[in-house]
């Protein structure tokens, strides 16, 4: 056989080998992708993102979406036929779903631990100030005082079958806890299907279990209030989370300005007015996301000094507070455990 034929045969075998290697590499990539699905969608007026490891390569998008529809049908004040809307329009409610009772239990717990800073009965004030369903009122002091008489979680009575209220006009609003609770519900759905390594995020609230695809803790960023757009955004910190949840509440995005005055969406249940203080955001790490979400809201109601005092008492929580000092510069406070979890980039305390 002459050298030309030998070279031609060699070239054919080389091409076959290279093609086979490429196909094998692609099959490995596809297998890895199948075992590490990524889901995304819309819910609760925001977006969700889910990553998980599954040796069976199951796509659980349909199940997750159905679950979130049922969840919203229970707790969304923007759905007229939801359980919470039915309760707000009546004297009492007998639960139709498994979601109402747990969120009432957690709400009562956090209400008591925060001395009323977290209070889901703030709904009449939320609506009046224009941060809920319905039209904005711009209430005067007399109207605020009138609505405050309807606020107070002690006006709610409930057990494991039903919930009642002392006055017909009392209303509930779980928007300060629902996203975190929804994250937990989705996480539990994944666990029931044997998935041990996952990350669930809804509107910035996160639950992490196990490890990511690289066999490491999940890396979750905390938004820097200085950056208003995604193009120039850099996180204040990166957290390494494993078997933990995190929620962040802040007043740097959801607000409006009227007659030169800034009105934040966080309403103080005791004063009846939107909060005005230097605390810009509160990030809380807890075992479950519902707890983290509720306490993050409570810290935003309390303001920097009282939030720091509460954070130092809560041994089961890790907290990062971002606030502005007298010169308008950003500063942070973090608990010792939070400092161990995060890799700060800016600002420094």
Model confidence pLDDT, tens digit, residues 275-310: 888 999 999 999 999 999 999 999 999 999 999 999
2, 7, 10, 104, 220 from 16: Cα distances, Å: 22, 14, 10, 65, 44
How far is the C-alpha of 57 from the C-alpha of 36, rounded, in Å? 7
**Domain assignment of residue 77, yes or no:** no
Tokens of 14: 């080389």
In the chain, pLDDT over 90 holds for what percent of residues?
A: 68
User: What mean pLDDT do residues 247-262 have?
Assistant: 76
Cβ proximity of 256 and 312 under 8 Å: no
pLDDT, tens digit (0-9, with 9 covering 90-100), for 10-27: 444 444 444 444 443 444
Residue 299: give its domain's CATH number. Answer: 3.10.520.10
**What sections of the chain are H helices per DSSP?**
3-35, 61-75, 83-88, 100-113, 123-128, 141-148, 178-192, 289-302, 304-313, 336-341
Give residue 208's region: left, alpha or beta (phi > 0; psi -120 to 50). Answer: beta
Please state the residue numbers annotated as binding site for Mg(2+).
Answer: 176, 293, 297
pLDDT above 50 (res 346): no
Quote the number of domains for the chain: 1
Banded model confidence at residue 231, pLDDT cuts 50, 70, 90:
very low
pLDDT at 74: 98
Tell me the C-alpha to C-alpha distance, in Å, between residue 129 and each of 141, 144, 299: 12, 10, 20
Residues 26-54: tens digit of each pLDDT? 443 344 445 789 999 999 999 999 999 99
Instruction: Give Cβ neighbours of residue 133 (< 8 Å, ≥ 6 apart).
Output: 77, 78, 127
Alpha carbon distance 206, 241 (integer Å): 10
**Higher-scoring residue by pLDDT: 311, 31:** 311
- In this structure, is residue 311 part of a structural domain? yes
DSSP string, 280-318: EEEEEEESSHHHHHHHHHHHHHH-HHHHHHHHHH-TT-E
Bridge partner residues of 239 (DSSP): 220, 342
199 token code pair: 């990350």
pLDDT at residue 259 in the model: 66
End-to-end CA distance of the chain: 79
Positive or negative: CA dihedral 37, 42, 47, 48:
negative
How far from 146 is each of 117, 124, 227, 241, CA to CA, in Å?
Answer: 19, 10, 38, 44
pLDDT at 315 over 70: yes
Residues annotated in a binding site = 176, 293, 297
pTM: 0.85
Dihedral (Cα; 298, 302, 306, 308), 10-degree rounding: 50
Answer for the pair 244, 285: CB distance below 8 angstroms, yes or no: yes
How many C-beta atoms lie closer than 10 Å to residue 14's C-beta? Answer: 10
Q: Are strands 162-165 and 198-202 parallel, antiparallel or unpaired?
A: unpaired
Q: Report how far residue 196's alpha carbon sits from residue 152's, in angstroms, rounded to the nearest whole number.
A: 39
Cβ(176)–Cβ(282) below 8 Å: no
CB 292 within 8 A of CB 286: yes
Beta-bridge mates of residue 322: 281, 332
pLDDT of residue 30: 43
Q: Is 210 left (phi over 0), alpha (psi -120 to 50) or beta?
A: left
In a domain, 93, yes or no: no
Q: What is the average pLDDT across 256-265?
A: 71
Nearest-angstrom CA–CA distance, 87 and 136: 22
In a domain, 131, yes or no: no
Task: Give the per-residue pLDDT at 107.
Answer: 98
* Measured distance CA(304)–CA(323) in Å, rounded: 7
Q: Tens of pLDDT along 125-154?
A: 988 888 877 777 788 889 989 999 999 999
Residue 99 has pLDDT above 60, yes or no: yes
Q: Quick check: is 321 in a domain? A: yes
Q: Is residue 186 in a domain?
A: no
| Model pLDDT, residue 254 | 67
Q: Regarding predicted confidence, which is higher, 205 or 222?
A: 205
The whole-angstrom separation of Cα 92 and Cα 88 is 8
Average pLDDT score over residue span 107-112? 98
Report if residue 269 sits inside a domain.
Answer: yes
With cut-offs at 50, 70 and 90, classify the pLDDT of residue 241: very high
Q: At 160, is the pLDDT very low, low, confident or very high (cuts 50, 70, 90)? A: very high
Per-residue pLDDT band for 347 (boundaries 50, 70, 90) equals very low
pLDDT for residue 132 = 75
Domain range for residue 322?
A: 212-344
User: 210 and 242 in contact (C-beta within 8 Å)?
Assistant: yes
**Is 300 within the bounds of a domain?**
yes
């Amino acid at each position: 056989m002459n050298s030309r034929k030998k070279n031609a045969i060699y070239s054919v075998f080389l091409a076959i080998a290279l093609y086979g290697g490429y196909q094998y590499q692609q099959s490995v990539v596809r297998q890895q992708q199948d075992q590490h699905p990524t889901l995304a969608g819309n819910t609760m007026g925001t977006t969700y993102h889910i990553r998980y490891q599954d040796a069976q390569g199951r796509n659980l998008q349909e199940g997750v979406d159905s679950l979130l529809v049922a969840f919203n049908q229970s707790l969304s004040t923007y759905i007229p036929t939801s359980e919470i809307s039915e309760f707000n329009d009546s004297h009492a409610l007998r639960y139709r779903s498994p979601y109402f009772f747990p969120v009432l239990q957690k709400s009562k717990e956090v209400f008591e631990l925060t001395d009323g800073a977290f209070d889901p009965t703030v709904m009449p004030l939320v609506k009046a100030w224009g941060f809920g369903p319905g039209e904005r009122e711009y209430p005067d002091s007399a109207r605020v005082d009138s609505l405050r008489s309807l606020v107070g979680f002690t006006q709610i009575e409930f057990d494991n079958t039903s919930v009642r209220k002392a006055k017909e006009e009392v209303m509930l609003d779980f928007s300060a806890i629902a996203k975190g609770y929804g994250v937990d519900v989705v996480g539990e759905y994944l666990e029931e299907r044997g998935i041990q390594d996952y990350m669930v995020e809804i509107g910035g609230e996160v639950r992490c279990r196990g490890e990511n695809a690289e066999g490491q803790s999940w890396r979750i960023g905390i938004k820097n209030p200085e950056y208003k757009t995604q193009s120039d955004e850099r996180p204040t910190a990166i957290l390494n989370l494993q078997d933990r949840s995190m929620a962040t509440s802040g007043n740097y995005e959801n607000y409006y300005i009227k007659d030169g005055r800034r009105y934040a969406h966080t309403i103080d249940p005791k004063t009846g007015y939107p909060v005005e203080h230097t605390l810009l955001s509160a990030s809380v790490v807890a075992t479950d996301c519902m707890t983290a979400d509720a306490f993050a809201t409570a810290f935003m109601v309390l303001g920097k000094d009282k939030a720091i005092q509460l954070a130092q008492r809560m041994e089961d929580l890790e907290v990062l507070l971002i606030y502005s000092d007298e010169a308008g510069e950003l500063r942070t406070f973090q608990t010792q455990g939070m400092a161990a979890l995060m890799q700060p980039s800016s600002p420094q305390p």
